[in-house]
Amino acid sequence: MEHEAQFYEAAEGGRVVCRLCPHGCRLAEGERGKCRSRVCRGGRLVAENYGRVCALQIDPVEKKPLLHFHPGGSCLSLAAAGCNLSCLNCQNWDISQASTADVPYRQLGAADVARLAETNGCRMVAYTYTEPLTWLEYTRDCAVACRERGLKNILVTAGYVNARPLAGLLPYIDAANVDLKSFSDDIYRSVSGVRLAPVLHTLKSMLDAGVWVEITNLLIPGVNDDMDMIARMCRWLVDNGFVDCPLHFSRFFPQYKMQGPMSVLAVTPMGVKDAGASFVPTPLPLLVEARRVAISQGMRHVYLGNVSLPGAEDTLCPRCGSVLIRRTGYDVALGNFSGVCPKCGSKIAGVW
């Protein structure tokens, strides 16, 4: 049964205009939006991926990554096909850069998702792997069903969405990890095919709505590794109330369309330094320097992801430096930590 999408307008000749995200796709009969998940049929916009789950598994909450939200807990993670970004480095391109016609799926209602979480001992459900904002109607319905059962809802997103659809979802979201890909509109357009400003609006809207927010920045050598830009990004975060929100600098590995020469990208003022060079994994010293810069700008909780460096994801007290939570991979040593530093008494931001 087809599920009619919300957030669209009818146009002449049976066309529709999608208002879910800033792309504003104008679609004729049978055409799909940039997200590949919303299609015009009979003068209506259909959310084709509603309830069609193409990925489903149990993850540690640290995998999202969320390090200050119920650490050590497990979440039921699910995805439907589609994404409104076209990231050249997407690690889940086989389901994000696809429609439901391209990938196997199982049909699950919102109540089914909540029951599955409970059956598997998960107190959290994560909408992840692709872009849950492109299956927003399903994400919201699942979040409502989970909230009714006392489960927590986690959104893992790139944040490219219009204000009104987001406002209807946020009351049911408890935590989010937002992928802030760079602090340059040029780089956003070159790497992902979208703009920066709507992502910043999403971040501020989440904070205003009381959602616990953590931020990931995938550091790609020669693309978004300019330390002055990283400093500006961190100053913006501090100035806009995100000083206590964990910031994750994640290590890049070449994949998808970012496996050869950098010439795949448009050379932009803030972008590629040497288009003739090839993509390489992020050097560890670059990640360490990014963390130093972020802390120097006032960010209090800065982590390094996709690395095996000692202490890279340990939680420290920003006042006295005491190690509060030790992490090795997804192994979490909480001890007796309950949100307050036992040495200096500082309250540590998070949902513990």
For 311-330, b where at least 16 C-beta lie within 10 A, e where not — what string?
ebbebbbbeeeeebbbbeee
Question: pTM above 0.85?
Answer: yes
Q: What is the tally of helices (H) and strands (E) in the chain?
A: 8, 17
Task: Give the integer Cα–Cα distance in Å for 333 and 313.
Answer: 11
Q: Domains of the chain (ranges plus CATH)? A: 8-47 (no CATH), 52-311 (3.20.20.70), 314-352 (no CATH)
**Type of residue at 249:** F
Give me the pLDDT at residue 197, please.
Answer: 99
DSSP 249-299: EEE---BTTBSSBGGGSPP-TTS-S-TTSB--PPPHHHHHHHHHHHHHTT-
Block mean pLDDT (10 aa), the chain, length 352 = 95 98 99 98 97 98 98 98 98 96 97 99 99 99 99 99 99 99 96 98 99 99 96 99 99 96 65 72 98 99 97 98 96 94 98 98
* Structure tokens that stand for 151 in this block: 């489960």
Is the peptide bond preceding residue 318 cis, with omega within 30 degrees of 0? no
Give me the pLDDT at residue 274, please.
Answer: 63
The β-bridge partners of 69 are 351
Neighbouring CB atoms inside 10 A of 16's CB total 26
Element (DSSP H or E) covering residue 177: strand 175-179
* Structure tokens that stand for 8 in this block: 């669209």
Give me the pLDDT at residue 277, please.
Answer: 83
305 touches 216 (CB < 8 A): yes
